[in-house]
Amino acid sequence: DVKVTQSSRYLVKRTGEKVFLECVQDMDHENMFWYRQDPGLGLRLIYFSYDVKMKEKGDIPEGYSVSREKKERFSLILESASTNQTSMYLCASSFAPLSGGYRTDTQYFGPGTRLTVL
Amino acid sequence: QQQVKQSPQSLIVQKGGISIINCAYENTAFDYFPWYQQFPGKGPALLIAIRPDVSEKKEGRFTISFNKSAKQFSLHIMDSQPGDSATYFCAASKNDYKLSFGAGTTVTVRA
């Protein structure tokens, strides 16, 4: 079974703090993703990485950065947390190697981190 | 701006009934259409997916219907059960790793 784990289920931070959300997958997947989930808006892609050290912006990258130094680990960084970043953050991974025919494959999600910024 | 529009936002169905969720898209480059199911406290999980070379795909009680000319696809849950109560997301992709998700539909199945 693919397992995607996220470092915290719940997190409370203050405005202006630097926040790190960690995600680890154990299936040697090539691709990893960070989404935020808000009621009525579905899942919106923040950043993704299709190879170690390669990253691309998603639909809502403003205020976020990412780091992927090892294949199994993908970190989301909020440089200076703001109240409008209060949300559920979901990490996902997929196989779909760069050399393959299909680049979009099943995404396996972690349980999410509920972040509250006060 | 959401690239995939999903409706309804929520629905309630009696046990044994049929649940129908609809999605529409504009980008004709989309070529992969999955549905994800999410239970409270869990991350979404792939339920069923279709590529546009077929008009229908069935897996157990779950069926995707795809209408390429109308740029619409739908999920039908037959013989709905209380265990199907969850939030369902449609999504679409144009083979660039990324998924564009709909806003989600909360399905409640009453026993």
- DSSP E strand stretches across A9-111: 10-13, 19-25, 31-38, 42-51, 54-57, 64-70, 73-78, 87-94, 108-109
Q: CA nearest B21: which of B94, B84, B93? A: B84
Tokens 């949300």 sit on residue: A87
Residues of A in contact with B92 (CB under 8 A): none
% chain B with pLDDT above 70: 100
- Considering chain A, what is the average pLDDT of its residues? 92
CA distance B87 to B75: 12
For A100, other C-beta atoms within 10 Å of its C-beta total 10
Cβ pair A106:B102 closer than 8 A? no
CA distance B27 to A25: 31
Q: Least CA distance to B42: which residue of chain A?
A: A111
Q: How do residues A44-93 score in pLDDT, each as one tens digit?
A: 999 999 888 789 999 999 999 999 999 999 999 999 999 999 999 999 99
First and final C-alpha spacing in chain A: 37
Which pLDDT score is estimated for A51? 83
Q: Residue B95 — very low, low, confident or very high, per pLDDT cuts 50/70/90?
A: confident
Decide if B30 touches A, using CB distance below 8 A: no
Residue A104 has pLDDT above 90, yes or no: no
- Residues of chain A with a CB closer than 8 angstroms to some CB in chain B: 4, 31, 33, 35, 40-45, 48, 50, 58-59, 90, 92, 94, 96, 102-104, 106-112
Phi, psi of B82 (to 5 degrees): -55, -30
Which pLDDT score is estimated for A74? 97
> CA A9 → CA A62, A89, A108, distances in Å?
23, 10, 17
Residue B108 has pLDDT above 80, yes or no: yes
